Copies of this chain bind each other. A is one copy, B any other.
Amino acid sequence: MSASASTGMRRSVVLKRRPAAEPTRADFDIREEAIPTPGPDEVVTRTLWLSIDPYMRGRLREEKSYAAPVAIGEVMTGETVGEVVASNHPGFAAGDIAVGARGWQTHCVTPGDRLVKIEKGAAPLSAYLGVLGMPGATAYAGVTEICKPKAGETFVVSAASGAVGSVAGQLAKRAGARVVGIAGGPDKCLWVQDSLGFDECVDHRSLDLRQELQAACPNGIDCYFENVGGAVQAAVFEQQNAFSRVAMCGMVAQYNEPKPPPGPNLGFVIGKRVLIQGFIVSDRMERFTEWRAMAAPLVADGSLVYREDVIDGLDNAPDALAGILSGRNFGKLLVRVAPEH
């Protein structure tokens, strides 16, 4: 990467073909071209960190979901933290750090209005892609607008060691709820309990998920922050209390399926007066900004705990995406595209 930078070349990961199941490196091409120069009001950044998130799998499908799919031959979308190397926008100067530049590439040219400048030194730069970025803001929006956990209630979150789940559970804990995480494997469960401070963590690979969940939630489930779908969803839905709330955030367990599998019967929704609300944080950009301001001091003083899983080198981004869909990563998944200095 640094070689490209010094030789004035930009390296991009572009979609070669749509993966049928788990994405692989062979579904992408690497393209090299000259580093662009900025047009009017544009900014060129050198990518330092690239965020890898489960939603990206949806962009590889032909069908439009809430955003247009990535076209064949197009650079793969993604949030980045980058250093400004050239700017024709009054808000940015060389050396500034900006988040929001999109794409799996070493350099990005983008209108300055689409970038947010961040204060150097307030928090580690990588945090702006996780706990202080889109995943953290997603957790904040889902917990405060949909789940609304109250003291004494039971709050369950799946993918609890992930970038969204880890923040969601900590926020529910701060609201006074009993917080139960669901995560894959003993290492993640241990971290969720010991480091994040959740009351319990259930391993979704356990032989009797239903029973373990029941033991962890003796008073039933009042809030569910849904990140995975599938068997976990079915087990949680069975144990929901009357007037419980479900923030539907993701269903990573099915993103590699060619066709969505059947879901749980919704009869319980009526009898138990359940609220299920799907949401996407990009509908609420004001919450994003609000969250960044609120959470940065909590990250700085260590009261909001997060964990990162860093993979080096842009070329490894496709493998990283495959890994996040199967839960191989542990913590917020990032690609270090270039060193910070």
- Hey, which bits of chain A sit against chain B, CB under 8 A? 58, 65-66, 229, 233, 242, 248-251, 254, 260-280, 283
The answer to whether B266 touches A276, judged by C-beta atoms less than 8 angstroms apart, is yes
Across chains A and B, which 10 residue pairs bring their CB atoms closest together, nearest first?
A: A262-B262, A260-B265, A269-B278, A65-B271, A276-B276, A270-B278, A263-B265, A66-B271, A263-B263, A248-B269
Determine which residue in A242, A261, A263 has the highest number of CB atoms from chain B within 10 A of its CB, and name it.
A263
Additional 13 contacts, C-beta under 8 A, given A66-B242, A261-B265, A273-B279: A58-B271, A66-B273, A229-B265, A251-B265, A254-B265, A262-B264, A262-B265, A269-B278, A273-B280, A275-B275, A275-B276, A276-B276, A276-B277
The answer to whether A249 touches B270, judged by C-beta atoms less than 8 angstroms apart, is yes
The answer to whether A66 touches B263, judged by C-beta atoms less than 8 angstroms apart, is no
Which residue from chain B places its CB closest to the CB of A274 in the assembled complex? B278
Determine which residue in A260, A263, A266, A276 has the highest number of CB atoms from chain B within 10 A of its CB, and name it.
A266
Contacts of A268 in B (CB 8 A): 278
CA distance A308 to B267 in the complex (A): 27
In the assembled complex, the CB of A304 is this many whole angstroms from the nearest CB of chain B, namely: 25
